[in-house]
Amino acid sequence: MTRKVTIKPSNHVFHVNEGETVLDAALREGLVIAYGCRHGSCGTCKGRLLEGAVDYGVYQEHALSDAERSAGMALFCQARALNDLVIEVREVNAAKGIEIRTLPARVHKMERAAADVMLLELKLPAGERLRFLAGQYIDLMLRDGTRRSFSMANAPHDEAFLQLHFRNYGGPFSDYIFGRMKERDILRFEGPFGTFFLREDSTKPVVLLASGTGFAPIKAIVEHVLHAGVRRPMALYWGCRTRADLYLNELPERWRREHGVRYVPVLSEPLRGDGWSGRTGLVHHAVMADFPDLSGYQVYASGAPAMVEAAHADLTSRCGLPEDELYSDAFTPYVPTGGTA
């Protein structure tokens, strides 16, 4: 049985099939609501249930607290409609009409950029193109069905290869990438997903905040901005543990020299041998020190979930960043979902 869902305040309507999540149904019908991980971990798809009832699905407590659930909130990447619904969510028109596809891709180039970081270039089949927005991600799938999310590090205009930056987390996907993968291997992927991309209807200055391989979607966004000639002041803060972890440091240094992008690398645990004289500590603390008033800014944060969560809490409560001007892509670990909590 299908259920009708009405989105407020737009009054857009779509229909959810039995067993389908509200987010999947919206995407299938070409409506995009803000979302990230799609497995109940990041909280980006959180919205208000104004009428109707849902099965809340499986999710992490930190993404939706019991108090928020009692106050009528739900995670729409997990929620399944039990009757007709009226919901209030953030809609994202810029991603409308971009088809989510499943395609094969060939491993064109692998490059070890740091001890636990691999850069990968994937080649699509001849004649195929992937439409996406700079900052979005894909799900890579192995033959055995293992599936993980990775952000594309290239902007759409630079379409010869899909570029990905992998950290070694020691799980099955990392074992494949860092242990068994060879050039010319064929992978399948689905995408593009997510709503982490520059909101181009704003003229506000931008602070970009990356930790570790969270640099990948930020790289795509900066390259898109430089290519498209978007004229908004940009400051990029990249946090890593040691100097070796700033695996593409030359690139943002070049953006700084050639394009006036303010670039501040921040190391949390520099080694004595690093000879580091730059900023140290938590990357979002460096932003807070330099931008005590963020009320007129947009902030884009990606990478470690702990960094994204802390940046969200501190930048909104202590620097006046409006809640709806923080856009984030938390690299939450994969959690199998389905069934009910």
Nearer to ligand FAD, 215 or 291 (CB): 215
Q: Is 35 in the site for ligand FES (CB under 6 A)?
A: yes
- Of the candidate residues 5, 16, 32, 44, the single one contacting ligand FES (CB under 6 A): 44
Q: Is 166 in the site for ligand FAD (CB under 6 A)?
A: yes
Give the interface segment with ligand FAD, choosing from 4-12, 93-101, 103-111, 328-336 (CB under 6 A): 328-336
Sign of CA dihedral 300, 304, 305, 307: negative
Nearer to ligand FES, 44 or 302 (CB): 44
Omega into 104 within 30° of 0, i.e. cis?
no
Q: Is 334 in the site for ligand FAD (CB under 6 A)?
A: yes
Q: Is 44 in the site for ligand FAD (CB under 6 A)?
A: no
Interacting residues of 148 by C-beta distance below 8 A, sequence separation 6+? 139, 140, 173, 334
Nearer to ligand FAD, 5 or 116 (CB): 116
At its nearest, how many Å lie between ligand FAD and the CB of residue 233? Answer: 26
Q: Choose the one of ligand FAD, ligand FES, none that binds residue 30, judging by a C-beta under 5 to 8 angstroms depending on kind.
A: none
- Of the candidate residues 77, 264, 307, 315, the single one contacting ligand FES (CB under 6 A): 77
Ranked by CB distance to ligand FAD, the top (closest) residue is: 171
- Of the candidate residues 16, 27, 41, 301, the single one contacting ligand FES (CB under 6 A): 41
Site residue total, ligand FES (CB under 6 A): 13
Q: Is 40 in the site for ligand FES (CB under 6 A)?
A: yes
Q: Provide the token pair at 153.
A: 């590090």
Site residue total, ligand FAD (CB under 6 A): 25
Nearer to ligand FES, 33 or 236 (CB): 33
At its nearest, how many Å lie between ligand FAD and the CB of residue 168? Answer: 7
Q: Is 89 in the site for ligand FES (CB under 6 A)?
A: no
Q: Choose the one of ligand FES, ligand FAD, none that binds residue 44, judging by a C-beta under 5 to 8 angstroms depending on kind.
A: ligand FES
Give the interface segment with ligand FAD, choosing from 48-56, 73-81, 143-151, 230-238 (CB under 6 A): 143-151
- What span, in angstroms and rounded, lies between the C-alpha atoms of 336 and 105? 24
Interacting residues of 153 by C-beta distance below 8 A, sequence separation 6+? 119, 163, 164, 165, 215, 216, 217, 219, 220
**Sites of contact with ligand FES (CB under 6 A):** 35-38, 40-45, 63, 75, 77
Positions that interact with ligand FAD (CB under 6 A): 36-37, 137, 148-151, 165-167, 169-174, 194, 213, 216, 304, 329, 331-334
